[in-house]
Structure 1
Amino acid sequence: MNTYNWNAKDYERNSQAQQKWARELIANLNLKGMEDVLDLGCGDGKVTAEIARLVGDGAVAGIDNSRQMIDLAKEKYPQDRHPNLSFHAMDASDLLFEDCFDVAFSNAVLHWVKDHRPVIEGLYKSLRAGGKILLRMGGKGDAEGIISAINDVKASNQWAQYFTEFEFPYNFAGIDEYQVLLKESGFSINRVELIPKDMTHDGKSGLAGWIRTTWLPYTERIPKEKREAFIEAVASNYLDKVPLGADGKAHVAMVLIEVEAEKIT
């Protein structure tokens, strides 16, 4: 999994949609209060802390491969005040746990990983027998409008020089391929589903904030002094095609894949 230079505090300010969707997902876990939970790709830790409050008799470990995110999470949620919560810098493709968790949770992370096989195999190993995974990430067809806008801009004369030998950085998986992967890794499948979502941002500035803090494989290729101009061009291109709604919000059509499975033995 590639490591980008995440601005943890800026991401925290521009990730309300991710947090809202994570809360929906947490409700689906039906936690009883004594589970040990792994939050895979915990980011700044705010969702991980919400899970920890629901499992007062259990424990939650948040992992992320961004040292900036882990440092912010540890600063915000110190262990002396959150004794059942810990954070670790670790790559999703190289999990170092064995028979540790009852639940593994991941929200809006795994589309960053090109090869999901080592992730799923690592999750299987990390769970106790009877443990379950609940994963949500970008799925087949995700964010096509914003990707189209980025592609338009990066192909233009002004920006093309920064994208030589650029490779598409995401894995937006479909249902069939994920079912095969789960079965081959030993999981019993409960549900694999593609779900359309409407992501909203507060006007053009909110859309630009999301592009700046999330679309790093593109923005980090641009020299720092030109980055805001690139982001502005992408936001303008997108809003030309998908204008702000009557509510003043920028609407982005997303497609998420949700995965629920169990480790039976």
Structure 2
Amino acid sequence: MTMEQQQTYQWNGDDYAANSQIQFQWALDLMEKLKPCGDEHLLDIGCGDGKVTAVLARYLPGGRVTGIDSSAEMIALAEKNHGTTATNLSFLLQDAGSLSFVQEFDVVFSNAALHWVIDHRPVLRGIYQALKPEGRVLVQMGGKGNAAPVVRAMETVMKAEQWQEYFTGFTFPYGFYSPKEYTPWLKEAGLTIQSIKLIPKIMVHKTRKRFAGWLRTTWLPYLQRVPPELHDAFLDQVLDTYLGKEYPKSEQVATDMQRLEYLAVRPK
């Protein structure tokens, strides 16, 4: 997230932590691709509530892990839950678009965070600057076409007469890009691409309630345009539009996702 987005969206860290288990599992899957030696210095961009960052610290017992996020609420929760769990772990309030590190890290890692940023060029320049020569950056985030059925449901509801007044001037708030769009930015930043691809995934929520929790905590740009007292009504309409009014509340809900993943290196 950028600082501008941090000021716009009021994050509830506890609510996010309770409704982000799928993102956590995807982060664990992404970690397997790091193949760490155990002594690297690692930067986790968009660390959120810190639970992924804490696992990374256990992966690197001889190294150091720093988690950053632009949400003060998230950093406070990360510090509360994980700040004293390891001596090689720390958290900082910092915006991904204005990284201040200079050749401090062997690895930069980010999962399910950087799609909150529209302009990735300053982020990539900061990543290049933060990496040591031959350092790696491994990122996975929402890519082009991510959650397209959910986006369509949101757009249908926001255009309804009941809601359209709250969405005057609204523009699509996420940076969902394709490899073709993203590749030039990596090269412009000076990074050497080892792989970049779109990965289709299916996100499965066990019940309608779990799906609603995910919508509530990760689709803030839509929800927070609406007065707080109308949040539940807005979400109910999105759910009915996406699922149909007769969808059983106990049935699992699946969503098609597209994840942009890349691995790149800062040259010697």
TM-score after normalising by structure 2: 0.95
SS in 1 for 2:226: coil
Partner residue, 2:57: 52
SS of match in other structure, 1:172: coil
The residue number in structure 2 matching 1:261 is 264
1:39 to 38, 44, 47: 44
Residue 183 in structure 1 maps to residue 187 in structure 2: yes
Q: Could you tell me which amino acid in structure 2 is paired with residue 74 of structure 1? A: E
Measured in 2, the distance between the counterparts of 1:257 and 1:167 equals 21
Identity %: 46
Post-superposition Cα deviations, 1:227-254, rounded to whole Å, max 9, x if no partner, equal 1110111111111299679x92100000
Q: Report the alpha carbon displacement of residue 169 of structure 1 after superposing the two structures with TM.
A: 0.3
1:27 equivalent to 2:32? Answer yes
Runs of 4+ in 1 over 2 A off after TM superposition: 240-245
The TM-score normalised by the length of structure 1 is 0.96
Structure 2 SS opposite 1:28: coil
For residues 116-155 of structure 1, the aligned pairs below 5 Å read: 116-155=120-159
1:241-252 equivalences under 5 Å are 248-252=251-255
Q: CA deviation at 1:177?
A: 1.8
User: Is the 2:83–2:91 Cα contact (8 Å) retained in structure 1?
Assistant: no
CA distance in 2 between partners of 1:21 and 1:249 (Å): 19
Residue aligning to 1:109: 113
Mapped contact 2:115–2:175 kept (Cα < 8 A)? yes
The answer to whether 1:173 aligns with 2:174 is: no
Structure 2 unpaired stretches of 5+ = none
Q: Distance in 2 between matches of 1:242 and 1:135?
A: 38
RMSD over aligned Cα atoms: 1.5
Count of matched residue positions in the alignment of Structure 1 and Structure 2: 263
1:65 aligns with 2:70: yes
Partner SS, residue 97 of structure 1: coil
Q: Secondary structure at the match of 2:98?
A: coil
Q: Pick from 219, 228, 250: which aligns with 1:224? A: 228
CA positional deviation for 1:78? 2.3
